[in-house]
Amino acid sequence: MVAPRKYPEELRERAIRMAVDARRDPVSRPSAVRRVGEQLGINPETLRGWVNQAEVDAGERAGTTTAEVQRVAELERENRELRRANEILRTASAFFAAAELDRQLK
């Protein structure tokens, strides 16, 4: 279950673009994220995280990309489902084996 987003996707994309553009100027770089965040009404730390993740996704910074995180989550979900199915099959196999043994003993 995914939590609802506080900020619309369009605002997020616009804020990231503005912050990245502002950070390109060496003079305004140190306070660019804070300034853009205040202008748009976004917590500066939230915006900083968005910008960092956008840089990771673009290959400009080391880290785990959004696509990789989603893929790992999908694989973990699939793994849980397969483990559950295996447990059901194991239980059913034991049940039918016991039933067959009872039938043979009678």
49-85 tens-digit pLDDT: 999 999 999 999 999 999 999 999 999 999 999 999 9
Provide DSSP, 11-77: HHHHHHHHHHHHHHSTTTGGGHHHHHHHHHT--HHHHHHHHHHHHHHTTSS-S--HHHHHHHHHHHH
* Cα distance between residue 12 and residue 9, in whole Å: 5
Q: Kindly report the three-state secondary structure assignment for every residue of 29-47.
A: HHHHHHHHHHHHCCCHHHH
15 within 8 A of 40, measured Cβ to Cβ:
yes
Sign of torsion, CA 44 45 46 48?
A: positive
Among residues of the chain, what percentage have pLDDT more than 90? 74
3-state SS assignment for residue 6: coil
Higher pLDDT, 101 or 42: 42
pTM here is 0.70
Structure tokens at 47: 């915006």
Of 54-58, 61-65, 89-93, 98-102, minimum mean pLDDT range:
98-102
